[in-house]
Amino acid sequence: MTVPVFREYEPAADCGCAGCALQRRTAAARSLPPRLGGHRAAHGARRALVLATAAGVVLSAGAAEAVVPACHAAGPVRPDDAAGPGPTTPQGQAGPLMGGGAAGPPTADAPLALRTTTRGEIISRAKTWVAAKVPYDMEKYWSDGYRQDCSGYVSMAWGLGGNEWTGSLSSYGTRIARSQLEPGDILLFHNPADPNKGSHVTIFGGWTNSARTQYMAYEQTPPATRKKTTPLAYWSNSDKYLAYRYRGLTGGSGGGSSAGFPGAARFGPGARNAHVTQLGDMLVARGGKRFYTQGPGPAWSEADRRATRAFQQAQGWRGANADGLPGPDTWRRLVDGTGKNIPAAGSGGGSSAVPPFPGRGYFKPGQSNAHVERLGRQLVKKGYGRHYASGPGRRWTEADRRNVEAFQRAQGWRGGVADGYPGPDTWRRLFS
């Protein structure tokens, strides 16, 4: 039996479905006038769907594949899907803690006495869910009573008295500029037209590059709580995210990052607190991962001192100014994402330590050379080696390509600039 091939119909001018609307916008952008209009196109689309269903039955019997029209797809197509993984995070409404009392956002008629907290405490609480890998679920509650969705996670980290949602979290914060973001602040996008489509919130954990185009995001998103370097403000709907600072914040809640320095007494032998963990996380993000055999923690260690000293020396400081104990200036540069990163081991420091890019021809299927192995080892050192089953080695493999792609996407790149094949900019960022 011959299987018909179906062509995609042009959108009807009076059809309000999301598929037709998207098709009309695409046609207008390309200056292509619709060939079918009005009810004729609508009937044509419906006829195509019926025929596509019939073709599906034939296909199940082993016939050739038919082309299914895309106009009336099952759901709307988001133009920003190509920009990266968007959050699929439906959420519950504002409500009490599981087993707790009533809660709700503060209003002029019923102001809420906010619990006070510090930046270090917010990040410390956020990390408890990351460590526990709390599964995402808008209808379940974790052992601490907070709902296991994105807004429940922020409610927990901020220490709110109940479970809020993206439509109410702003009531607990003060709007700030993105340039003022500090650890413990949030980036919030609430879509009032359809809260379950795109609405999301992340906790800002600090800048991860000097250009302030990336930050460490703590977020609750399927499948579980994660901590991930994220392009500012998010993978999709980036321009719609607003920055907020918790109104109950104490200690370093002002605009200047240096004001957030918790004090020299928080660091050094015998110190154990959330600020030590925060310091370690920021140092790892700036190239200090090699100093830690285990992840940064609340107890001050020799690894913290050595990583701090390496960062200070990268700024050109010597002697007492590079003693491995953070002061206000060290802290400010780490929080703001300014200054120079810690150079790779054995690089000797400055930007001249970045090895010259050998050329794209060395990185493609069939190639085997020392540059491929060097690239792979640097990917592993930077934390982008998860696709290697063994190695890395001298021969270019799909594992190399996928690891390079993961690194490129972490820079916020998409499309052809994140194809998994290193160019000069990928090489420079990877080795700097």
pLDDT in tens, 12-46: 444 555 555 555 555 544 444 443 344 444 444 44
Q: In what order do the strands lie in the sheet with 226-231?
A: 173-176, 242-246, 186-189, 200-207, 214-219, 226-231
| Half-sphere exposure for 303 (CA within 13 Å, toward CB) | 19
Q: Please give the backbone phi and psi of residue 171, each rounded to the nearest 5 degrees, phi first.
A: -65, -20
pLDDT band of 333, cuts 50, 70, 90: confident
Q: Please give the backbone phi and psi of residue 251, each rounded to the nearest 5 degrees, phi first.
A: 75, 95
What's the pTM value of the predicted model, to 2 decimals?
0.43
pLDDT of residue 429: 86
Per-residue b/e over 60-79, b at no fewer than 16 CB within 10 Å? eeeeeebeebebbeeeeeee
Distance CA 347, CA 333 (A): 22
Please state which of the ranges 5-14, 84-93, 109-118, 120-129 shows the lowest mean pLDDT.
5-14
Distance CA 335, CA 399 (A): 34
What's CA 320's distance to the chain center, in Å?
37
